[in-house]
Structure formats: C-alpha cells, structure tokens
Amino acid sequence: MESVLRQFKTKIESWKEWHECKVVVLAISGGVDSMVLLHLMLELTRLQEYRQVRLIVAHFNHRLRSDEVHAIEQKLVVETAKAHDLIYFVCKWQEPTKTNVEANARKARYQFLADVVQACEADCLMTAHHMDDAVETMLMRIVRGTSFKGLIGINANYRRLMQTSSGEVVFPRMLRPLITQRKEALYQYAADHHIDYFDDETNQELEYLRNRVRNLYLPQFEEENPQFFHNLISMQEQMQSVYQAHYQGFIAIEPYLLVKIKERDWVLDVEAWQKLSEDLRHVYLTIFFEERLVHEIGQYDKEAILYLDQQITNQLTPNYSFNLASGWISRREYQYIYIESELKGIEQAKPNQVVDLLSLNKWHSLGDGMWIGIFNEHFVSNQMKQAVDAYYAMDLSSCEVLPKFHVRHRRDGDVIQLRSNESTFHKKVSRILIDEKVPLLKRESMWLVVNDQEEVIWMIGQQKSSRYLPERPEQITHHILIQKMY
C-alpha cells in the first residue's frame, strides 16, 4: 500500500467514530483535493472490512465563476460518480450574494450538504480539507484579526449540527481525513493514478488574500523553517484542546451567567460574572460572543468585549448603555445587563407555549435556536452526549406505555420529585429557583420537561427529577438531549 493511501487509512482508522459510519456523504468540488478524496475512499471501500460503507457524492455550484467552468466541474464529478455507480447530488446556489460572499457561500453549501445527509440518512460528512488549507486559514485569520475561537483552525473530527433548507436539524459526524496531507502530495497522487480534476486558474490571482497567503507569504515562512506547516498544525491542535476545555467550563455555568429572553435579546447576571476571576471572565465573554452573539450581531469590534467587561465590573456607574455593535446596545440596570437589538424593553417569555415530544429520535425546536429530542439509548453515542449542551439519561423500562413528554414554561404549583439517600420527596419548582437565587427573568423563560401527568421531569439548566433516574448505567433506556444552534 503506497504512502498517501496508507497514511489516509491510518488517519481515518485512528478515529473510533469512523468505525460507526455506514453512509458517507463526500463533498466533491472537482478540484484535485476532492477528486483525490473520492479516489481514496473508493480504494478504502474496496477493502473487505469497509465494503458495507456506502458512498454518496454531493457537488455544489457556488456560481462565483463562469458558467463554463462550473459546467466542466459538474460534468467531471457526475461522470466520475456514474463510472463507479455512486449515487450523486448536484445543486446550484440560486441567489448568490454580492456582500460577505465567502461566509454566505459556505452557509448555502452546508445547507445543501445537510439536505443530502438527511435524504440519504447519512451518519458521516467528509470534506477534502488538507494541511495547506488549515495553515492558510489560520494565517488569514491572524492577518485579518481573529478571536480565541478563530485560532483553533479547522477541526478534523467532530459532530456538526446542520440545518436543512426546510429548517430541520441533522447531526452527522464531520471528518476531514486529508488534514495531515500536504497539497503537493495530493497532486503527486493524482498524477500517479491518472485522476482527472479541474484546476481553478483564479487560485493564482493575487487580488485575493488567500492566494497571496498561499503563493507569496507561506513559501517564505517555509523557507525560513521547513517544519513551519507542521508546527502550525501542532499549535492548532493544542489550541483546540484549550478552547474545548474552556468551552465545557462555560457551558457548565452558562445558565447562571446569562439567559436569552426572546428572539434577539439577552440578559447577563452581573453578580455571577463578577464572581469569576478577571482572566476567566474575559475568556467566557469571548466564548459568549463567538458561540452565541456573533450568529446574530455579525461582525463586531473586538474592543466590545473589553467594554462589556468594564460594564460588568463598574461599581460607580451601575446604570448606563453603550453601542455593542451596529444596531445593538448593551444596557446595564443595576445587577442585570440587557443586550438588545432595539430599545423596546424586555418581553417576558410566553407562559402558555407547549412543545410536544411525540416522536422518538427526532429533534424538536423550542425556538431561539434551542432544540430538544428524546432518543433511544442505542441511538446515542458517547460522542453525541459530549457534543450536545445537556442531556438527561432515563430508565423507562417500568412504563407499560411510554409517557407523552412535552416542554413548557413554569406554572404556579409545579413540583418536582427528588431523592435524598433512600427516600423521595417533592419540592416546589418556585422554591428551588429561590434557593438557587435564579434571577426572575431566567425563572420566567426556563423550560420544563413534564410527563403526561404534568409532573416536572427536568428543570432544564437546573434540577432533574428522580422519577426516571436509572440506578445503574445498564438500566438506561432513553436520553433527553438539548442542543443550542444559532
């Protein structure tokens, strides 16, 4: 087995998640990277242990170049798929934008890929990003200015929450097995195996930053140090670990720090933020911007994080506002900071909203980017539990008929069953919220999972009922999963 294929096989088999993949969607553009990826996957699935893996080809036309070029690329991808008897999907970007083109094109592409994943019931999405892509992307972010999150580079193996064109959610494993390969090795592999591909001539035009980084800057860095690419990749991997550790820490206490009270408005608890160390507060504010706010406010001045930090710690002026970003205001009123798109005041959550969880193994929208679902135990992997924001393991084996769970906001008189040592007791939800010093706005917007007897099963972000708690891991039959997506 030759070097590239051997390294490819070693890399992909180093991910235990790969061995669970049965249907793989390949994002194929027609360039050398993706055509080599297609060839390598075809070689891999010829091996006895992977003959059951099903490959699906997906090609997206961004319409950013001439129709002739896109026609050539599409023809190449389609003919190659047909030659190997593969199912394929092609799609054209119907409404290309003239501003923020790269981000909008990426969004449109991944929406199409989500549609393909859903249509084929795929469990894996694979792209042809390689080492040069990862290094170029990181250097571009540094040149343009980036955030803590931006330094982690391109993640090669993770669960990706994606939204289809119909608004439904899919959650495939995202794999990038070429991430350790240099592009020159891919060119050589294509030549050795007579692989057809289309080389985009615009990659040489220096009016684009990526092309200048690729053709001018990186060769100079590599001349200074031949290990520059590998060193930068190593640094990215370290940053990914550091960011993930901080992100998990943020998620653990996020319900105490802030709450989203309506579609576009947030409330921060000043006292909770002040309890953090200065360094940790700055890191968590950065994560809040990158994982929550940026999806709504778009671009923002990095100094906005510093200004918000000062607003939190200001003891002399507890009531003032500043412009956080274009069209957005951060307004402090004593112990709360309201981040608003408009000065409309604060709307309370709708107390009568109810979301039924009637279908198993399916995500249900709670609005405001929050999704919930009840899944059979065998459907939920450890990686899936790590990827979601919260989960609740349940034992429903004693139920003759599965309860009909639904989600709603708090009502007067709500109680929850708890366990202390060997005894069980009931406690009012309102009392728990008071004891835990949960702010009033968070209390009104908190979601409760209840069964068909209106018993509170889970105060999401707070307390879990003991009613369905398993005594041992092997007794788990179902999971309730919570995922935020913006």
366 in Cβ contact with 407 (< 8 Å):
yes
| Residue 339 and residue 273 in contact, taking contact as beta carbons nearer than 8 Å | no
Do 228 and 222 form a contact (C-beta atoms < 8 A)? yes
Query: What is the Cα–Cα distance from 329 to 64, expressed in whole angstroms?
Result: 36
Q: Cα–Cα distance between 184 and 196 in angstroms, integer? A: 16
What is residue 95's predicted lDDT score, i.e. its pLDDT? 74
Mean pLDDT check: name the lowest of 292-306, 312-326, 459-473: 292-306
Q: What is the predicted pLDDT for the residue at 345?
A: 38
pLDDT score at 68 = 81
Feature table: binding site: 29-34
Question: Of 400, 387, 392, 467, nearest to 427 (Cα)?
Answer: 467
In angstroms, rounded to a whole number, what is the distance separating the alpha carbons of residues 149 and 293? Answer: 13
Residue ranges in 91-130 assigned as alpha helix (H): 101-120
Query: DSSP secondary structure string, 435-465?
Result: HTT--HHHHHH-EEEE-TT--EEEETTS-B-
pLDDT bracket for residue 435 (50, 70, 90): confident
- Say what the pTM is: 0.62
pLDDT band (50, 70, 90) for residue 374: very high
**pLDDT at residue 1 tops 60:** no
101 band by pLDDT with thresholds 50, 70 and 90: low
> What are phi and psi for residue 473, nearest 5 degrees?
-55, -35
Task: Identify any residues that bridge with 450 across adjacent strands, giving them in sequence order.
Answer: 406, 456
Q: Which of 196-205, 249-258, 306-315, 430-439 shows the lowest per-residue confidence on average (mean pLDDT)?
A: 196-205
Most confident segment among 73-82, 232-241, 330-339, 419-428: 73-82
As beta bridge partners, residue 314 has: none
Q: Name which residue leads in pLDDT, 412 or 205.
A: 412
* pLDDT bracket for residue 293 (50, 70, 90): confident
Per-residue pLDDT tens over the stretch 181-202: 999 999 999 999 999 998 866 5
Tokens of 130: 């390689």
| Mean pLDDT across 340-362 | 65
Give the mean pLDDT of 306-314: 94
| pLDDT confidence of residue 420 | 83
Distant-in-sequence, close-in-space partners of 323: CB < 8 Å, separation ≥ 6: 329, 330
Binding-site residue ranges for ATP: 29-34
- Arithmetic mean of pLDDT, 273-295: 91
Report which listed range, 86-100, 171-185, 288-302, is most confident: 171-185
pLDDT of residue 78: 95
pLDDT at 461: 82
pLDDT tens-place string over residues 24-34: 999 999 999 99
Q: What is the pLDDT of residue 100?
A: 67
Checking if the pLDDT of 343 tops 50, the result is no
Judge residue 91's burial from the number of C-beta atoms within 10 Å of its C-beta, 0-12 exposed, 13-18 middle, 19 or more buried: middle
CA angle 348, 366, 155 (to 5 degrees): 120
Kind and range of the H or E run holding 449: strand 447-450
Q: How far apart are CA 447 and CA 227, in angstroms?
A: 51
Give the pLDDT score at 348: 39
What is the arrangement of strands in the sheet containing 423-428, beginning at the earlier edge strand? 354-356, 406-409, 447-450, 456-459, 415-420, 423-428
Q: Helix-strand-coil percent breakdown of the chain, rounded to 5?
A: 45, 20, 35
Q: Which residue has better confidence, 264 or 105?
A: 105
> Beta strands 23-27 and 54-61: pairing type?
parallel
pLDDT category, 344, cuts 50, 70, 90? very low
Q: What is the DSSP letter of 351?
A: T
The one-letter code for the residue type at 356 is D
Nearest to 154, CA basis, from 170, 138, 165: 138
Domains of the chain, each with CATH number or no CATH: 3-224 (3.40.50.620), 239-340 (3.30.465.60), 354-484 (no CATH)
| Strand segments (E) across 78-153 | 87-92, 124-126
Q: Give Cα 238 to chain centroid, integer Å.
A: 19
Tokens of residue 248, six digits: 């998990």
Residue 460 has pLDDT above 70, yes or no: yes
> Which of helix, strand or coil describes residue 478?
strand
Residue 108 has pLDDT above 70, yes or no: yes
Residues in contact with 268: Cβ distance below 8 Å, sequence separation at least 6, in sequence order = 257, 258, 312, 336, 337, 339
> 290 pLDDT exceeds 60?
yes
- At residue 477, the pLDDT reads 94
In this structure, what are the phi and psi dihedrals at residue 46, rounded to the nearest 5 degrees?
A: -80, -20
Q: What is the pLDDT of residue 352?
A: 61
- Asked if residue 371 lies in contact with residue 363, where contact means CB atoms within 8 angstroms, the answer is yes
Mean pLDDT of all residues in 347-375: 77
pLDDT (tens digit, 9 = 90+) per residue, 125-182?
999 999 999 998 888 888 877 777 788 888 888 888 888 988 888 999 999 999 989 9
- For residue 347, what pLDDT band results from cuts at 50, 70 and 90? very low
Question: What average pLDDT does the chain have?
Answer: 87
